[in-house]
């Protein structure tokens, strides 16, 4: 993003005290709402959350911010070292600025949501398109009311496609985000139990996911899992061009002859008889994510050979089914950004089938936001942990105690371990003592459990 302060002022209808032509002509080369990441020349966005962003203005100035948004109810302490663009609500102004910039650059927008797989699908789509076009994609997990505007404002002026991930944890969230970006393509990867605490049923989750179509352009495409009855039913109610992916011959794009390896997965697609597609990820569940990306490639007429080649080595966002090597030479499967019962089962199934010279060790942390049935859902994972395939289990968090109790009759005490969420240091020490060079270790939990700290200690 490159804009002058004057252009930004007009875009968001801000005011500046002691405005001068020199101030208005000052160039801004980006935005930042975290002073720890701020670089010289950026516009600081003081957001309010656990802390009031306005309290960090001195850090922003020291970091080289050339201007800042500023809430009108904070004008009693207006900064003087840099121009302050006064607005009623910095977050709303931030979002309005992103909308303006999106309209100015005018890329085609692909929006992706789903209970599982949206980040991987986003990465795959961006890779498929990147051979023919200039592509910007959501960084990391910047997929909410703050992350989506931030992603938009990271675009270079020559961006052809914006691939934007959209998360949700309440009704209305995707409605807002979809109307903000007005996608040309809206994709739902699948419907699971993520955030069921806030929605109650998968039906209501599906209703909320369908909000991604609310901002879809009239000539846009809705792409979805054609094997999910909840989406099939709802797709009939929206008047857009549609494409489906999945495993059924009734889908527009479907997979056949799937072969799951330890570090990659191969399959064939109905579009290209006898052509094998290989993705650098384990797990049959990742095939559907690739099918969604292939569907997008087909829609935008990307050559078959390029789609296959791009999917074979795309850049995957960190901590999503990522194989690493530990301090002792052990293999570590890190999937610690998020978790829910569907995702945990899929990873456990794939991990249980790997070729291993030593033992398979599983580390599972709480799956958050599952509501009243959380303990029951955690305990149900016992059906996916076979003591003949998994040698040792380490469990973390209060809800994982239900799984711990369920596994007690199955595992010897020395092979079954339970920790509170604040005992990660103890967990790390115990794992380091237990792990041997030929072992494989799988870690999965919701991000709030912070198993990424364990991964860091095992690999540092």
Handedness of CA 142, 147, 153, 158 (dihedral sign): positive
138 is in an annotated binding site: no
| Residue-wise burial string across 130-160, b where 16 or more C-beta atoms lie within 10 A, e elsewhere | bebbebbbbeebbbbbbbbbbbbbbbeeebb
Q: What token pair was written down for 66?
A: 């050339």
| Contact call for residues 188 and 113 (beta carbons, < 8 A) | yes
Candidates 366, 365, 359; CA nearest to 387 is 359
Q: What token pair was written down for 405?
A: 């109790």
- Secondary structure of residue 281 in the 3-state scheme: coil
Cα–Cα–Cα angle for 114, 115, 116, nearest 5°? Answer: 90
Report the C-alpha gap between 305 and 341 in whole angstroms.
Answer: 36
3-state percent breakdown (helix, strand, coil) of the chain, nearest 5: 40, 20, 40
Report the C-alpha gap between 69 and 38 in whole angstroms.
Answer: 14
H/E stretch holding 275 reads strand 272-279
Q: What token pair was written down for 329?
A: 């030479």
Neighbours of 459 (CB within 10 A): 13
116 is in an annotated binding site: yes
Report the C-alpha gap between 396 and 445 in whole angstroms.
Answer: 9
Runs of H (alpha helix) within 63-219: 90-105, 118-130, 147-153, 173-181, 196-199, 202-209
119 is in an annotated binding site: yes
Q: What token pair was written down for 78?
A: 């207006």
Report the C-alpha gap between 296 and 340 in whole angstroms.
Answer: 27
115 is in an annotated binding site: yes
Report the C-alpha gap between 299 and 241 in whole angstroms.
Answer: 11
118 is in an annotated binding site: yes
Starting at the edge strand found earlier in the chain, the sheet holding 360-365 runs 322-325, 331-335, 440-444, 360-365, 392-396, 416-419
> Which residues fall in the annotated binding site?
114-120
> Which residues fall in the annotated binding site for ATP?
114-120
């Amino acid at each position: 993003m490159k804009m002058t302060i004057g252009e930004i002022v007009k875009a968001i209808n801000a005011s500046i005290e002691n405005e001068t032509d020199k101030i208005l002509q000052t160039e801004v080369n980006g935005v930042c709402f975290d002073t720890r990441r701020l670089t010289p020349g950026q516009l600081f966005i003081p957001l309010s959350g656990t802390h009031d962003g306005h309290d960090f203005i001195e850090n922003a100035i020291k970091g080289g911010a050339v201007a800042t948004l500023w809430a009108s109810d904070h004008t009693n302490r207006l900064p003087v070292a840099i121009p302050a663009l006064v607005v009623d609500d910095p977050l709303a102004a931030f979002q309005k600025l992103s909308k303006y910039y999106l309209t100015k650059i005018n890329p085609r927008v692909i929006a992706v949501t789903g209970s599982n797989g949206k980040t991987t699908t986003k990465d795959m789509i961006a890779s498929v398109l990147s051979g023919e076009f200039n592509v910007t994609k959501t960084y990391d997990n910047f997929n909410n009311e703050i992350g989506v505007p931030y992603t938009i404002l990271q675009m270079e002026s020559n961006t052809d496609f914006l691939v934007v991930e959209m998360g949700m944890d309440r009704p209305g969230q995707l409605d807002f985000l979809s109307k903000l970006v007005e996608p040309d393509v809206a994709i739902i990867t699948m419907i699971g139990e993520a955030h069921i605490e806030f929605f109650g049923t998968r039906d209501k989750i599906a209703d909320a996911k369908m909000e991604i179509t609310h901002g879809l352009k009239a000539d846009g495409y809705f792409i979805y899992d054609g094997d999910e009855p909840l989406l099939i039913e709802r797709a009939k109610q929206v008047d857009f061009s549609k494409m489906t992916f999945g495993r059924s011959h009734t889908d527009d794009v479907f997979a056949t002859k799937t072969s799951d390896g330890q570090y990659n997965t191969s399959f064939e697609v109905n579009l290209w008889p006898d052509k094998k597609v290989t993705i650098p990820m384990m797990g049959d569940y990742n095939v559907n994510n690739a099918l969604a990306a292939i569907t997008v490639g087909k829609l935008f007429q990307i050559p078959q050979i390029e789609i296959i080649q791009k999917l074979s080595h795309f850049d995957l966002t960190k901590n999503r089914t990522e194989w690493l090597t530990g301090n002792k030479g052990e293999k570590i499967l890190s999937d610690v950004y998020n978790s829910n019962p569907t995702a945990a089962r899929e990873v456990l199934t794939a991990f249980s089938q790997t070729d291993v010279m030593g033992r398979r060790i599983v580390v599972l942390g709480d799956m958050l936001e599952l509501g009243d049935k959380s303990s029951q859902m955690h305990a149900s994972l016992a059906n996916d942990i076979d003591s003949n395939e998994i040698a040792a289990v380490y469990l973390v968090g209060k809800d994982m105690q239900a799984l711990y109790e369920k596994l007690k009759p199955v595992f010897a005490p020395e092979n079954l371990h339970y920790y509170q969420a604040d005992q990660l240091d103890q967990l790390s020490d115990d794992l380091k003592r237990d792990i041997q060079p030929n072992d494989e270790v799988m870690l999965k939990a919701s991000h709030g459990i912070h198993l990424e700290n364990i991964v860091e200690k095992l690999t540092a």
